[in-house]
Structure 1
């Protein structure tokens, strides 16, 4: 996915605010889930974040574009699944890297559930 830094994304330091990077991480993750998971999984499960780690090695200002790529680094652990997102600037330099831990919830019960192998399979390399 690509994102363009808009005026409302910019903080008092003149670059994209940290909270905006988190919004973009969530948008990438949500779209990836919706694009890859079969409809019956999307209908049955929902994900919530339990942890974010973000490394900032650069930033962008108004009008600049970043490209985000995501991957799942390893199989799930119980109800949890880690997802990585890397943002690159127009020169291809990685400027922000995030690793988030997501937990799976069964929509009907509202409870955490162990990630089934068939749910994880389409996301693993």
Structure 2
């Protein structure tokens, strides 16, 4: 995708979202929980694009789960608007911890609506306890980590 938006980092993995009536809360804008759900969807789609899906997680008895999530809700989105979520892997210690950054942009004006950062930890799916990342995680996810995240990518 050409860099037509003011992305926080180069080369985002992107997912498009359309604001529907079901996304609107009592205040008249997209509910914050919808933004969080869109981050989840974008993160999974990026993982699948990198070659790791839920079946792979099960066969490896390993999963990356959110340990900490921070969201900055900057501007609102409204019914009928089109948005694009960019996401990047911004850190991988090669053992237990990875980081992912999100940026949601409104297509009509290129304004950033949300920034988010996740700290992820690798667990063993069979018991939920932390475990060292399998080699497949380090090669697929580790190779996708951007080398110079901006100040917005923690």
TM-score interval, normalised by the smaller of the two chains? 0.7 to 0.9
Structure 1 residue aligned with 2:141: 120
Q: Does 1:100 find its partner at 2:114? A: no
Instruction: Name the SS of the counterpart of 1:31 in structure 2.
Output: helix
Change (3 A) 1:38 1:30: closer
Equivalent residues in 2 for 1:1-125, closer than 5 Å = 1-38=15-52, 41-42=56-57, 43-44=59-60, 45-76=62-93, 78-90=95-107, 91-115=109-133, 116=135, 117-125=138-146
Asked if the contact 2:98/2:119 (under 8 Å) is kept, the reply is yes
| 1:83 shift after superposition | 0.4
- 1:38-85 per-residue CA deviation (whole Å, 9 max, x = no partner) reads 578544232221211111111111111110110112223742211001
- 1:58-115 per-residue CA deviation (whole Å, 9 max, x = no partner) reads 1111111110110112223742211001000012111100001122223345432123
What's the C-alpha RMSD, in Å, of the aligned pairs? 2.1
TM-score, normalized by length of structure 2?
0.71
Instruction: Name the SS of the counterpart of 1:61 in structure 2.
Output: coil
Instruction: Name the SS of the counterpart of 1:21 in structure 2.
Output: helix
Structure 2 residue ranges without an equivalent (≥5): 1-14, 147-154
TM-score, normalized by length of structure 1?
0.86
Structure 1 residue ranges without an equivalent (≥5): none
